[in-house]
Chains A and B, each alone.
Chain A
Amino acid sequence: MTDDQRMERIAAGDEAAFRELVEAWEQPVFAFLARMLGNREDARDLAQETFVRVYEQASRYSPEGKFRSWLFRIAGNFARSALRRRKVLQWVGLDSAQNIASNAHESPDRSIERDERNRKLQAALDKLPARQKEAIVLQRFHEMSQNEVAGAMGASIPAVESLLHRGMQALRTELVKE
């Protein structure tokens, strides 16, 4: 069954179709939000909100074969709002940055090395403006085409090209500093 077909069935009240959809997409949505927010708990919370919104909006979804872009657009909106809120909280001193926790099943040595590289990358990503970070995460980690990234971000393709270009430059600069 395609995602568009699932969405039609969800709109008709099919609970099993909704469960299938959540289980098919929860991992990529969570990974996207974890990279955007740099925090597993916030990512889990907002991934749940994303699927609640999918359920609520199912009847308004138009099946044009662009489900992934639509889904990541919802998740991206939540992520950007959370980052804005966090900025305010950091400004008033009520929030501190947290890293994504490591995979607990790895051996300690590998885990430490991997954690260190990941921490470095996440710290550099967290310094980018939200939209540059979003474009990079979608393209690099979710292997989206520029066209798809544009759909997911509600932006034009030239705007996405520019975000990616400037984002990668800024990321390299940040990684050198780290």
Chain B
Amino acid sequence: MNEDNGRDRRNTMNETDRLLREAPEPVLGRSLYPDVRARIAGRRDAITTPFRLAGGLAMAAGILLGVFLGNDTPLTESATGVFDDDTVALLAYGEDETLDTAFLSSFTDENIR
């Protein structure tokens, strides 16, 4: 009985060793290199894109903030894009002034002297 058990065990061991020894190696086929390169390039883009996006957003926010803080005069004309000389004079010096008259009136007696 014990001899039978021992023989069975040896047979199983031999069979296992044979299967391990004779098992064919899984074959890769085409090279991995192009896909590996593509993954590395993809990772780089994935890392830099958020930084670029964040940089762009920060810049846009900065511009908007600058416009908002710098805009302390009501520029209703800016909506229509009308910024001729008269408008500038009106905003700078008030009613009934053109840019030329405003320029001339800025020369007070004191300036001339």
Binding site for B on A (CB under 8 A): 19, 22-23, 26-27, 30-31, 34-35, 40, 43-44, 47-49, 51-52, 55-56, 100, 103, 114, 117-118, 120-121, 136, 140-141, 168, 171-172, 175-176
Contacts and interface: CB of A to CB of B under 8 A. Distances in A.
A117 B20 CA distance: 10
Contacts of B27: 27, 31, 103
A93 to B, nearest CB: 27
B15 A175 contact: yes
Contact of B36 (A48, A120, A175): A48
B39 A48 contact: yes
B19 interface: yes
Given A27-B27, A121-B19, 6 more contacts: A30-B26, A48-B32, A48-B35, A51-B32, A52-B40, A121-B23
Contacts of A35: 26
Contacts of A31: 25-28
Contacts of A114: 24
Interface size classification for chain B = 20 to 34
Nearest to B19: A121
A22 B24 CA distance: 22
Given A114-B24, A172-B12, A172-B13, A120 B31 contact: no
Contact of A47 (B15, B19, B21, B32): B32
Interface string B26-70: 111001110110011001000000000000000000000000000
A26 B33 CA distance: 8
A17 to B, nearest CB: 12
Nearest to A47: B32
Given A55-B40, A168-B16, A172-B13, A141 B23 contact: yes
B36 A117 contact: no
A52 B32 contact: no
A97 to B, nearest CB: 16
A136 to B, nearest CB: 8
Contacts of B31: 22-23, 26
A56 B13 CA distance: 43
Contacts of B32: 22, 26, 30, 44, 47-48, 51
Nearest to A120: B19
B22 interface: yes
Contacts of B26: 30-31, 34-35, 40, 43, 100
